[in-house]
Chain A
């Protein structure tokens, strides 16, 4: 796991959801975080696009509902980071 990438993701999630970063770990999924509702999910995706300089499709937005899924997607798409 790319630790820098995980830290950036964790901070982005914390800011977007308005929660402590400590509540997020490498295995967190959407249904474990009450603040991660459907609106917060869209906000998270928009924030990730900016933080990682990428563009997601609707299908990807619908699929990336857990930290492992997001990290895998980042590994696949931003290999240089």
Chain B
């Protein structure tokens, strides 16, 4: 391993920002002189950096942080302009200076005692400690600061609280005391985060206590600087802090990692499965297998952040699949991978294929491999792919992705948590579709159940979203807002229909919409008919149309008019109306006489109408609309893929 001095001098000779970054990617603590020299070198290399306007507001001295923020901005490919607000000045008094600066990100450095003077003392020394009152006061004060800032700032706001520089007033006994400082602060942090989530979505709290846990209190702070100039952080602490907080601008300004494409041999387990076999690879409770188990568990944590996992390995598929399916200590099974590439083609080809399959850009990929050759090849051939070579020492592997800001998340939704399941379901459908030659047999095997709802208010948001985002399977491409859909639902002349689809692989959520007007007359008009591309090819459109037409007939319609408005994207459905028995009136308009119902071929789908018992319903099947919190809840799941 190279010494820090050698690494720094190599970085000072490097001729591009990327090269400097690669050299310094290790967890290296630099001296202040090195930071300043490297900053000057990076600046001199010239800029392809993205502009970043960073504002720092503080109630303690943060001047010594500036060089570290500049250095980490440059390393991350950002050209920072820093606005350091006058010491001690906060929100309202901030006035025009901050507003005019128009920051992308505002970092707030506050002390606990700014929230309430009692928080500057050990709570046990406060007479009659009123923890609930103190907690409420602190949260309200912080929220007021955030609201005040939000009025003049459009960018992301990140709140921090300076961790205690010393151990608790009660020392080791703190945790045992009813007046525990640690638990009081933890309670405030929890309540604050909840308040921000509810009321101020782009104001975040970053817990610097977590950083102190990583760096260590004595290494993080420099008490000489604190007592002499109210500047709390040591050089190492300031570097760690800047590295942590630069994550927010990075996430705003540069592409997030959405897929981790993993090599298998010597990355997910020790050894080569093709040579050593299922029982020969290192994966289990003993070293080095223990490190690989830990890495796999950590990869599942990344998946829980909404990042997809993909396998990209040069191997015989049977060898790898045997590990995925049968190895007792393997954590990542087939269902954890959104894509699998097990073959002897180049990793370049496989990464491109994965990008196409997952419908993501290569700049959303992080490639992880133990081989320096593969890593170098990917860097050279696919420069937009981020590359992490796993460390040679197995014990270093589990934490090797922790320093990658693009893997962090600013917010976490239900959709993020279930993203992999959605991709895996699609893959399984495609695979089983590919296996069985007969489409009907395949569709039958899916055991699809469609739930159709009429004018369901809780689906309003998702229905509006589908009208706004669906392009391919959309007959008229009319876009509607939430409010417009709400009006239609309340209007007796309109019918707002939607459907969700469930099959053996899982639930699709709400994926189809029909909007019909003219229910008061005998001629109804289908204003909108659309379906998410995720369920194309399963005859769901025919089943849904039949359900809608049956309902219109039930409500007294005799004839139905429909339109096909051609766009550059919806050629897929140009024959949809004639295919379903509608007569063309001209190139755009079609009509159907409801007294002659057409036979349709959707017999593979069991249709249930919400709110009315289905005649065909097998015992135990649900007929009500999906419960809140289920994947069909509007706006919660599957919102990114129309």
Interface, chain A (partner B; CB < 8 A): 12, 15-16, 18, 38-39, 42-43, 46-47, 50-51, 56-58, 61-62
Q: Give the chain A neighbours of B172 by CB distance below 8 A.
A: none
Q: B33 at the A/B interface (Cβ < 8 Å)?
A: yes
What's the dominant secondary structure at chain A's contact region?
helix
Chain B contacts for A47, CB-based, 8 A: 31-33, 36
Residue in contact with A39 in the complex, picked from B36, B64, B224, B235, CB distance below 8 Å: B64
Determine how close the nearest CB of chain A comes to the CB of B178; give it in whole angstroms.
Answer: 37
Near A by CB (< 8 A), chain B positions 26-81 give: 31-33, 36-37, 40, 63-64, 67
Q: Shortest beta-carbon distance, B169 to chain A, in Å? A: 24
User: Chain A contacts of B40 at CB under 8 A?
Assistant: 15, 18
Residues of B whose CB lies within 8 Å of any CB of A are: 31-33, 36-37, 40, 63-64, 67, 224-225, 227-229, 231, 235
CA distance A62 to B224 in the complex (A): 11
Can you give 9 A-B contacts (C-beta < 8 A)? A12-B33, A15-B40, A16-B32, A42-B225, A43-B64, A46-B235, A51-B33, A58-B224, A62-B228
Which single residue of chain A is at the shortest CB-CB distance from B238? A46
B92 to chain A, nearest CB (A): 27
Give bound CA distance, A42 to B32, whole Å: 11
Chain B residues contacting A16 (CB-CB under 8 Å) are 32-33, 36
Rounded to whole Å, the gap between the CB of B210 and the closest CB of chain A is: 25
Q: Is the CB of B33 within 8 A of A15?
A: yes
The number of inter-chain residue pairs (CB within 8 angstroms) is 40
B323 to chain A, nearest CB (A): 48
Question: How many angstroms from the CA of A47 to the CA of B36 in the assembled complex?
Answer: 10
Measured CA separation A8–B548 after assembly (Å):
84
- Nearest neighbor of B61 in chain A, beta-carbon distance: A39
CB nearest to B234 among chain A residues = A46
A77 to B36, CA, bound (A): 26
Verify A42–B31 contact, CB threshold 8 A. no
Q: Which residues of B contact A61 (CB under 8 A)?
A: 224, 228
Chain B residues with CB under 8 A of A15: 33, 36-37, 40
Partner pick for A43 among B32, B37, B224, B227, CB 8 A cutoff: B32
A39 close to B63 (CB less than 8 A): yes
| A19 → B minimal CB distance (Å) | 12
- Give A43 to B32 CA distance when docked, in angstroms: 8
CA A18 to CA B66, docked complex, whole Å? 14
10 further interface pairs, Cβ-Cβ under 8 Å (given A15-B33, A43-B64, A61-B228):
A12-B33, A15-B36, A15-B40, A16-B36, A42-B229, A46-B235, A47-B31, A50-B32, A50-B235, A51-B33
How far, in whole Å, are A38 and B67 apart by their CA atoms in the complex? 15
Q: How far is the CB of B66 from chain A (nearest CB, A)?
A: 8
Chain B CB within 10 A, most for which of A16, A38, A46, A56: A46
